[in-house]
A and B are shown apart, each in its own frame.
Chain A
């Protein structure tokens, strides 16, 4: 069960009207290494992983939905006042034809989300390494979006999200250590 706080995890501000950035941000919305994929991946893996790290997957999976909400807000702000012509100039004509200004789980190239973006091998080490890789890929994606964006306020929010990827990767790395420890081994100090 979840409780919902009706506020964003980090304030989202966008200072320039540049709908092209919305197109790039869709990579983190419905892309293979986006926030939706992350949330679904972690929350699904919780059931078949040692008890010690279930809570970590719940916490991080939940936080990913908070990130998804921030990305959605960014995309919404960048597209809500755009005319069909402006969306066309931003490379979003196909999106408009299909969805008007509605958000949809597409990546930056317009490819719709698919469940095969996420993995659940059932092997705890394989799954945690998958999660570490996913965090690093999401971190890199944020870097590439920051590289393409010259909106300082938007980049501020993206930097916050990128930093969270670093921390999540760290926690998954620690989870690997936790489940690798041999309980029966006698340690003599």
Chain B
């Protein structure tokens, strides 16, 4: 299952047994980071400005992936 607005997130529904002691978490989320999909970096990749790149941790827009706790309510 992909998540419409967040391209590098996936989820699955863990098995639910009839006698599980805890209320169900519902879905488990996991990350499929951009490095899985790009292969060898092609030329002329889109760049952040220098200042922005220093903040974000990468110069390259396609490698940027902001992370937030997916379970946060």
Interface set of A (CB-CB < 8 Å, partner B): 10, 136, 139-140, 142-143, 146-147, 159-164, 166-167, 169-170, 173-174, 177
- By a CB distance below 8 angstroms, the chain A residues around B44 are none
In-complex Cβ contact of A146 among B39, B40, B57, B69 (8 A): B69
Contact B41–A161 (Cβ < 8 Å): no
Contact of B27 with A by CB under 8 A: no
Most buried by A among B33, B54, B56, B72: B33
Interface set of B (CB-CB < 8 Å, partner A): 31, 33-35, 38-41, 54-58, 60, 63-69, 71-72
- By a CB distance below 8 angstroms, the chain B residues around A167 are 35, 57-58, 60, 63
Contact A169–B35 (Cβ < 8 Å): yes
- By a CB distance below 8 angstroms, the chain B residues around A136 are 33
- By a CB distance below 8 angstroms, the chain B residues around A166 are 33-35, 58, 63, 65
Given contact pairs A146-B67, A162-B67, A167-B63, A10 touches B31 in the complex (Cβ within 8 A): no
- Given contacts A147-B72, A170-B38, A173-B40, 4 further A-B pairs with CB under 8 A are A147-B71, A161-B57, A162-B57, A166-B35
Contact A143–B67 (Cβ < 8 Å): yes
Chain B facing A: main interface SS: loop
Given contact pairs A143-B31, A169-B33, A174 touches B58 in the complex (Cβ within 8 A): no
Contact A159–B41 (Cβ < 8 Å): no
Contact A170–B41 (Cβ < 8 Å): yes
Most buried by A among B35, B40, B56, B68: B35
| Alpha-carbon distance between A155 and B64 when the two chains are bound, in angstroms | 16
| Alpha-carbon distance between A160 and B55 when the two chains are bound, in angstroms | 7
- By a CB distance below 8 angstroms, the chain B residues around A142 are 67
| Alpha-carbon distance between A139 and B35 when the two chains are bound, in angstroms | 12
- By a CB distance below 8 angstroms, the chain A residues around B31 are 139-140, 143
CB distance from B46 to the nearest CB of A (A): 15
Contact B35–A170 (Cβ < 8 Å): yes
Contact A163–B69 (Cβ < 8 Å): no
| Alpha-carbon distance between A63 and B35 when the two chains are bound, in angstroms | 19
- By a CB distance below 8 angstroms, the chain A residues around B35 are 166-167, 169-170, 173
